[in-house]
Chain A
Amino acid sequence: DAGVIQSPRHEVTEMGQEVTLRCKPISGHNSLFWYRQTMMRGLELLIYFNNNVPIDDSGMPEDRFSAKMPNASFSTLKIQPSEPRDSAVYFCASSIISNSPLHFGNGTRLTVT
């Protein structure tokens, strides 16, 4: 089991640019979560999917953020346009629906200058 795979591990971009973060969940897991971690706010849930369908996006900070899950093995989180305050570590996690623990990837560290 390769675990949750995220790419890239690091992303440095300039303000105003589009950023796309990618995630491959664990095979067989049917829930996928995007979290963001900052020193100030800790870990926060942005959005999650069940069976590729977005269930709760109330944590998405602004319309600049969007997420998709076109199939069971791939998800993207896009920020357009990016701003310096978006700098954070973005984690993807997956699980089997109903109370199973979340398995996190190793995150993408995003720096927006």
Chain B
Amino acid sequence: EDQVTQSPEALRLQEGESSSLNCSYTVSGLRGLFWYRQDPGKGPEFLFTLYSAGEEKEKERLKATLTKKESFLHITAPKPEDSATYLCAVQDRTTDSWGKLQFGAGTQVVVTP
């Protein structure tokens, strides 16, 4: 069964203090790994898709990387507006349900001024 584990559960950062979030996954065959951001009372907002080990994607202060077993979301010099829950999800190529994402529990990030 596919499993996605995110760590830490919560992260409190000072503005400008860079850090990394971890997403460890177990799938029969990875079709894609997705990062989403979720603000309170809102739906998840798509950030990145990664398909193969070694791939990297960047957007503003966020950078996502992928290995065969895990993905990292690096937050460089965060600002208070980066405060959110960050969700990782995997898509298993061996199932017929291409649209079925297995989500991790998320990392809640709080950035203080």
Contact = CB atoms under 8 A, between A and B. Distances in A.
Interface string A44-65: 1100101000011011000000
Contacts, number: 58
Residue of B34, B43, B101 contacting most chain A CB atoms (<10 Å) = B43
Interface residues of A, number: 25
Size bracket of the B interface: 20 to 34
Given A103-B46, A107-B43, A43 B87 contact: yes
B98 A104 contact: no
A106 interface: yes
Contacts of B105: 42
A82 interface: no
A98 B97 CA distance: 11
Given A106-B41, A106-B43, A101 B99 contact: no
Interface of B: 31-32, 34, 36, 41-46, 49, 87, 89, 91, 96-101, 103-106
